Structure 1
Amino acid sequence: MAVGHSVDPARWRAMFDQAMARIAGRFRRVEPRATARAFVLGLLSGVERKNCWQLAEQAGHDRPGAMQRLLRSARWDADEVRDEVRSYVLDHLGGDGVLIVDETGFLKKGLRSAGVQRQYTGTAGRIENAQVGVFLAYASPRGRALIDRRLYLPEHTWCRDPDRRSGSGVPEQVEFSTKPRLALQMIEAALDAGCSSSWVTGDEVYGQDPQLRSGLEARGIGYVLAVACTTKVRINENRTVVQADTLADSLPRDAWHRQSAGAGAKGPRYYDWAWVQTGADKNRCLLIRRNPVTDELAFYLCWSPGEVALSALVRVAGTRWCIEECFQAAKGQVGLDHYQVRHWTSWHRHITLAMLALAFLAAVAVSAAPDRSTDPNRPVHSSDPIDLTIPEIRHLIGRLFRPSTTPPHRLLAWSIWRRLHQAQARRAHYRRRLTSHLDT
């Protein structure tokens, strides 16, 4: 086949069967196992909103009950499936990979969804009523995918409110953990499961936490973690304490080196980089990035178990953006944020199945990539298409895996069911509001 055109529907179906076979043993009964398969197929489909209602209709079910039971009451452990997702990603994408930690917000109305409160989320860029999930991604030259998740549970509004916890199904053993602590838990779990990554990266939320940094050092894992410009570091033999942005301003011109932080949508991302030793050995430093156009600065605390080149630190720092791409693909392609659940268990189950769908797309992208090893000197012509992207693969799978056309009577039955359910909900809302008005 021509470069970029390795689309093989039969092979993709076989890969999907293999992915689902990996988690099949985590379901004790055949019914939830079959529903889980239909659920993931629905996440890979082109339905507009990937909630239980639309996924059930896509699967040909008469009602959403089976999908809802899968997320709420069926007997299966989302953490066991998460372990299989992580193993699947490492099998297909493993090799010189970097672990990346970050959080993302899920905007929600009301007060009952587990972990919801008014809090800052980068999803909205402001304080909103939202849930926040902390995620771990794995990125290698072959691809990237999410491999773990933790729902952040605020300390005062949730951890110390037993009634609220009970109402949303938060397990008794779940205690308050900061976001960096949740990140360290996921990193340690990945390492214990056999992940051979040598590096971790993350933004300022994680770089500013000394316990996370010391935990990584104790495991012998190098890190390149972003920190604020006001961070103070010790330099030179006298151990002088200097603020990061002040140190950057004092560096001579020859301290800066222009290097690419990796390929972006518009080509290599070139920045000017400088590094300053901040420890007794050469394994600890402050890495500084400067935008050559705007002069905007970014700072990273770095440590490695052995001496490394500047280019290695630059590569890891540039990899951090891969998790943002994972969030974009997970939300835009497989409905990571399309859920309509409030329960702790339901949140973890939906998120885990969405992670599996994203991991499958990443594996397909690897298998569909053209093999240039047979002719590495072959020039890339302007007429060659780009390699298959995650959105394009999801679009093709949505068409290639689509079931036969739904008969009109089934479409009408779903329309009637939805409108009856919405009428019932409207009456309940009106009744509640009227009662509240009369009480006041």
Structure 2
Amino acid sequence: MEGLLADLPRKNCWTIAEHAGDVTPDGMQHLLSRAVWDADAVRDDVRAVAVECLGGIDAMLVVDETGDLKKGVCSVGVQRQYTGTAGRIENAQVGVFLTYTTKIGHTLIDRELYLPRSWTGVPERCAAAGVPEDTRFATKPALASRMILRALDAGVPAKWVAGDEVYGGNPTLRGDLEKRQVGYVLAAACDHHVTTATGTGRADELVAGLPKRVWQRLSAGKARKDTASTTGPGSDWWVERTSLPGTGGC
């Protein structure tokens, strides 16, 4: 784990073993290729430790994706696709991750590898890479929903879920959260259609027509001098009250 989290320019069994102080990469190679262990069981243990150490008061779940740039075509899920790692379309693997965060700190508690249709649509390719036979295509929001519901089913105390517009624009994900009576702060694209008490319209058009008095100035923390920001330490928020099943709103 120390090696995987290390700031190494290139990570393989040799470099990770050297970083860990091992004379040979035999131990790392055994762990990755021959040892029998349950990755999901380890995930569950990590999740339990995270909740115990970080507490559950006002906890949030944050979902986001990241990419791992690749050179070849054999790594599971690799294809030319957009990745924030490079800020453009590159040959990469993309994973969706779930973070547990409280006032004390934050840590990753779950992960799902995004498999494009270029993989799920070619059973032979999946079989050659060791992908389980019953694996089907799932969008990134579907993977996010899977992880969030898994955490909630395990008793993770989370009152809110946050994510960017990849997830905010998905009605199924929002519906899953509303059914579980979990609040959410999800970004939306400017052309996303929003329904309010005054009707339905594009998000940017609704925002443009709002009077200044409905905006609240909220601090996002102290701004760093070396960080470029168009809003400084605060950002403007429009708070719209919506109803959740069985509640008076959120």
Q: Give matches, 1:174-323, under 5 Å.
A: 174-236=135-197, 240-265=199-224, 269-277=233-241, 282-283=242-243, 305-308=247-250
Q: Is the 8 A contact 1:138 1:144 kept in 2?
A: yes
Q: Is the 8 A contact 1:222 1:305 kept in 2?
A: no
Q: Which amino acid aligns with 1:67?
A: M
- What per-residue deviation string (whole Å, max 9, x for no partner) do you get for residues 137-187 of structure 1? 0111000111100000012x1001122111111111221111111001100
Distance change >3 Å, CA 265–CA 306, structure 1 → 2 = farther
Alpha-carbon separation, structure 2, partners of 1:274 and 1:47: 42
Any idea what SS the aligned residue of 1:173 has? coil
Any idea what SS the aligned residue of 1:227 has? coil
Q: Which amino acid aligns with 2:208?
A: D
Alpha-carbon separation, structure 1, partners of 2:131 and 2:102: 34
- What per-residue deviation string (whole Å, max 9, x for no partner) do you get for residues 55-95 of structure 1? 22344444312211211221101111111111111111123
Partner of 1:122: 84
Q: Which amino acid aligns with 2:101?
A: A
Q: Give matches, 1:24-423, under 5 Å.
A: 40-43=1-4, 49-95=10-56, 96-155=58-117, 157-236=118-197, 240-265=199-224, 269-277=233-241, 282-283=242-243, 305-308=247-250
Runs of 5+ consecutive residues of structure 1 not aligned to the other structure: 1-39, 285-302, 309-440
Q: Which amino acid aligns with 1:273?
A: W
Shift of residue 193, structure 1, vs aligned partner: 1.3
Alpha-carbon separation, structure 2, partners of 1:148 and 1:121: 19
Shift of residue 260, structure 1, vs aligned partner: 1.2
Aligned length: 244
Q: TM-score scaled by structure 2?
A: 0.89
Task: Return the structure number with greater helix share.
Answer: 1
Q: Which has the higher contact order (CA 8 A, sep 6+)?
A: 1
Runs of 5+ consecutive residues of structure 2 not aligned to the other structure: none
Q: Which amino acid aligns with 1:126?
A: R
The structure with the larger Rg is 1
Moved more, 80-89 or 47-56: 47-56
Q: Which amino acid aligns with 2:168?
A: G
Shift of residue 43, structure 1, vs aligned partner: 4.2
Q: Is the 8 A contact 1:221 1:304 kept in 2?
A: no
Q: Which amino acid aligns with 2:138?
A: S
- What per-residue deviation string (whole Å, max 9, x for no partner) do you get for residues 74-118 of structure 1? 110111111111111111112311101110000001110000000
Alpha-carbon separation, structure 2, partners of 1:73 and 1:229: 49
Alpha-carbon separation, structure 1, partners of 2:119 and 2:89: 18
Sequence identity, in percent? 53
Task: Return the structure number with greater strand share.
Answer: 2
Alpha-carbon separation, structure 1, partners of 2:123 and 2:172: 28
Q: CA RMSD in A?
A: 2.3
Alpha-carbon separation, structure 2, partners of 1:274 and 1:45: 40
Shift of residue 273, structure 1, vs aligned partner: 2.1
Q: TM-score scaled by structure 1?
A: 0.52
Alpha-carbon separation, structure 1, partners of 2:86 and 2:246: 35
Q: Is the 8 A contact 1:223 1:304 kept in 2?
A: no
Alpha-carbon separation, structure 2, partners of 1:202 and 1:41: 28
